[in-house]
C-alpha cells in the first residue's frame, strides 16, 4: 500500500497556481454532492458582486462592484468596475466567503460604494457610469448567503453510530462513532479505540458506511465490539442518512461464486486487476477478491455493490486501452482472458450484470480539483484529471509520481471543486515539492 | 440553465448607494421558482 505523508502546510494560492499555468478548474456543477451544485450554473463570467474595496485610504470598510472574469470551482477572478481591460488589479476570491454580496447589499446595509483610488480620477460621474455598466447585467440572488449557509449544514452529528469498513480487514465492518463532521466528511472513531486515534475519514455519501444492522442484513462479516463503558448521548445514525443503492433482481441470471471480472484494487487504486466473485451477498452486494494477492482466510476480500462503477466485465481494460494488472505471479504474459478462463476453469461474469450508465458529468482532461487521497483518506489534495474513460476518471496528485494516481468514479463524493477546502474549513494539501516527497 | 434547475431569471430593481447618493438599476438575478 502506497501512502503519502502530510505535506507541511504553507500558504497555497489556488488563484496564482491557476493563472500562472493557465489552468482550468472543474466547474462546481460537476460535483453533485457539494454545496450549491445545482445553483452554480447561474454563476458565470460577467456576473457582478459587491466586494470589499482594498484600494482605498479610507479607514472604514468600503465596498465596490466587481465582475467575474474567470471561474475555477468556488473561486473567481474578479475585476473592479472601472478597470475595463486592465487586469493589473484582478484578484481571486472564494465566492462563498462572507465578504461577497449580491449587488444591492451595500445599500440595504447602509454601506457606501466607493471606487478604488487607482481609478477615482477616471470618471467624473460615477452614477452614470454604474447605471450604464450594471443595467441588464446579472448578479447573485439576494439570499445568496442564506443559500451558502443552508447548503453547508449536514445531518450527521457527533456520537452517531455507524457501520464502516474495518480499515485493517477490508472484508469486515465495525461500529464507529462520528467524532467530527467537516464539509460532509466524517471522522469516524472505531468503537473499541482506547484513545480515540483509531479513526477513518470518509464522506457521508461514501459506499463504505452503513446504518447499524446493515452487515447482518446482507450477510457481511462484522467485528463485534466489546464495549464495557457506555457513552451517554450515543444514537444510531438514522438509515435514511445513508447512500441508497439501486434495487437489483438477483433471482434470475446473477453473479455466482468464482465468476471472473475486472475490479479497481481497493489497496492500490491506481490499478484495475483481474478479480473473482468470492461470495454473493444479499441486496446486490458481492465480496470480491483480487486474483493472485488474496489472503488465505479471505481477509482482504472487499465488498462492492453489483452496480458499483469500480467493477467491470472481463475485457473492459483491453477495449479501453487501460493496462490490466494480471494476477500476481501469473507468468503467461501478455495476459489473455480467454486463456486465463480456460486455465482456471472459470467463467466471466456476464456483461449485462454490470453498471453501464455514463452520466453527462462535464469533466474534461486537464481540469484541476481537490481530491481525497483514498489511501490516506483524511488528506484532500490538489489534483488533476489526466484521463477519462466513460465515467472513470484518472486522478493525478500534483507534485507526486504517477504511481500514486487513482481511478475514481465521476460521481465519487471524494472529489471536490477548487475552493471546497476553503469553504468548509478542511485543510488542503498543496502540490508536493520534490524535497518534501523525498 | 436556471430554468432547468428549478429557478428562473428575474429582472430586479437593485438599489445602489454611493457617497454621492442612492439610485436604482435594473439587473437580472436567478431565483427559486415560486
Of residues A208 and A192, more confidence is placed in A208
**What is the rounded distance in angstroms from the CA atom of residue A325 to the CA atom of residue A273?**
5
pLDDT in tens, A138-195: 999 999 999 999 999 999 999 999 999 999 999 999 999 999 999 999 999 999 887 8
Q: pLDDT of A297-323, one tens digit each?
A: 888 899 999 999 999 999 999 999 999
Percent of chain A with pLDDT over 90: 88
- Of the partner residues B1, B5, B29, the one whose CB lies closest to the CB of residue A102: B29
Give the C-alpha distances (Å, rounded to integers) separating A301 from A221, A234, A339, A355: 10, 31, 24, 21
Annotate A343-393 with DSSP letters as a single string: HHT--BPPGGGS----------TTEEEEEE-TTSTT-EEEEEEEEEETTEE
Cα distance between residue A154 and residue A217, in whole Å: 26
pLDDT at site A438: 47
Which pLDDT value is given to residue A1?
45
Average pLDDT, chain A: 93
Given pLDDT bands bounded at 50, 70 and 90, which one contains residue B2? low
Q: How confident is the model at residue A6 (pLDDT cuts 50, 70, 90)?
A: low
Q: Indicate yes or no: CB of B18 within 8 angstroms of CB of A48.
A: no
Using the Cβ of A235 and the Cβ atoms of chain B, whether some distance falls under 8 Å is answered with no
Q: How far apart are alpha carbons A35 and B4 in whole angstroms?
A: 18
For residue A345, the model assigns a pLDDT of 97
Smallest CA–CA distance from B2 into chain A, residue: A42
Q: Are the beta carbons of A42 and B31 closer than 8 angstroms? A: no
First to last CA, chain A: 17
Rounded CA gap, A244 and A263, in Å? 21
Under an 8 A CB cutoff, do B27 and A112 touch?
no
Spell out which residues of chain A touch residue B21, defining contact as CB-CB under 8 Å: 127
For the record, the C-alpha cell of A387 comes out as 484521463
Closest of A128, A192, A119, A130 to residue A161, by C-alpha = A192
Q: How confident is the model at residue A229 (pLDDT cuts 50, 70, 90)?
A: low
Q: Is B20 exposed, middle or buried (0-12, 13-18, 19+ CB in 10 A)?
A: exposed
* A385-395 pLDDT per residue, tens: 999 999 999 99
The residue-averaged pLDDT of A52-79 equals 95
Contact A422, A74 (CB under 8 A): yes
Query: How sure is the predictor about B19, in pLDDT bands with cuts at 50, 70 and 90?
Result: confident
The pLDDT value recorded for residue B4 is: 59
pLDDT the model gives residue A9: 53
User: In the predicted model, is pLDDT for residue A80 greater than 80?
Assistant: yes
Question: Is the pLDDT score of A402 beyond 60?
Answer: yes
Q: Is A67 on the interface with B (CB under 8 A)?
A: no
Amino acid at each position: 500500500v502506497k501512502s503519502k505523508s502530510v505535506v507541511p502546510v504553507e500558504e497555497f494560492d489556488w488563484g496564482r497556481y491557476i493563472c500562472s499555468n493557465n489552468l482550468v478548474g472543474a466547474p462546481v456543477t460537476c460535483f453533485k454532492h457539494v454545496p450549491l451544485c445545482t445553483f452554480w450554473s447561474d454563476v458565470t463570467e460577467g456576473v457582478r458582486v459587491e466586494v470589499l474595496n482594498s484600494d482605498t485610504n479610507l479607514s472604514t470598510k468600503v465596498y465596490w462592484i466587481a465582475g467575474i472574469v474567470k471561474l475555477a470551482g468556488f473561486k473567481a477572478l474578479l475585476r473592479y468596475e472601472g478597470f475595463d481591460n486592465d487586469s493589473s488589479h484582478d484578484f481571486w476570491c472564494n465566492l462563498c466567503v462572507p465578504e461577497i454580496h449580491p449587488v444591492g447589499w451595500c445599500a440595504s446595509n447602509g454601506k457606501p460604494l466607493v471606487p478604488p483610488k487607482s481609478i477615482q480620477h477616471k470618471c467624473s460621474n460615477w452614477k452614470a457610469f454604474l447605471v450604464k455598466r450594471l443595467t441588464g447585467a446579472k448578479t447573485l440572488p439576494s439570499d445568496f448567503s442564506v443559500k451558502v449557509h443552508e447548503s453547508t449544514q449536514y445531518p450527521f452529528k457527533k456520537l452517531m453510530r455507524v457501520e464502516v469498513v474495518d480499515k485493517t480487514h477490508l472484508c469486515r465492518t465495525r461500529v464507529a462513532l462520528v467524532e467530527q463532521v467537516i464539509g460532509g466528511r466524517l471522522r469516524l472513531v472505531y468503537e473499541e479505540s482506547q484513545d480515540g486515534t483509531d479513526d477513518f475519514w470518509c464522506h457521508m455519501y461514501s459506499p463504505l458506511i452503513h446504518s447499524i444492522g446493515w452487515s447482518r442484513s446482507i450477510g457481511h462479516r462484522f467485528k463485534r465490539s466489546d464495549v464495557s463503558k457506555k457513552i451517554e448521548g450515543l444514537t444510531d445514525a438514522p438509515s435514511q442518512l445513508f447512500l441508497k443503492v439501486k434495487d437489483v433482481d438477483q433471482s434470475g441470471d446473477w453473479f455466482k461464486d468464482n465468476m471472473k471480472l475486472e475490479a479497481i484494487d481497493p489497496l492500490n487504486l491506481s490499478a484495475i486487476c483481474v478479480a473473482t466473485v468470492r461470495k454473493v451477498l444479499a441486496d446486490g452486494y458481492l465480496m470480491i477478491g483480487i486474483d493472485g494477492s488474496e489472503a488465505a482466510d479471505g481477509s482482504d476480500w472487499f465488498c462492492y455493490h453489483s452496480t458499483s462503477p469500480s467493477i467491470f466485465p472481463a475485457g473492459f481494460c483491453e477495449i479501453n486501452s487501460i493496462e490490466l494488472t494480471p494476477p500476481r505471479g501469473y507468468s503467461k504474459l501478455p495476459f489473455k482472458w480467454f486463456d486465463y478462463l480456460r486455465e482456471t476453469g472459470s467463467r466471466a461474469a456476464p456483461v449485462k450484470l454490470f453498471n453501464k450508465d455514463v452520466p453527462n458529468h462535464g469533466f474534461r482532461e486537464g481540469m484541476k480539483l481537490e481530491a481525497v487521497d483514498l489511501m490516506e483518506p483524511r488528506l484532500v489534495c490538489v489534483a488533476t484529471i489526466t484521463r477519462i474513460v466513460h465515467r472513470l476518471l484518472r486522478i493525478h496528485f500534483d507534485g507526486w509520481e504517477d504511481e500514486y494516481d487513482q481511478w475514481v468514479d465521476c460521481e465519487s463524493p471524494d472529489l471536490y471543486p477548487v475552493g471546497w477546502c476553503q469553504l468548509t474549513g478542511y485543510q488542503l494539501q498543496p502540490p508536493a515539492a520534490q524535497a518534501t516527497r523525498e | 440553465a436556471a430554468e432547468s434547475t428549478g429557478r428562473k431569471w428575474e429582472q430586479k430593481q437593485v438599489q445602489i448607494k454611493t457617497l454621492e447618493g442612492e439610485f436604482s438599476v435594473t439587473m437580472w438575478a436567478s431565483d427559486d421558482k415560486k
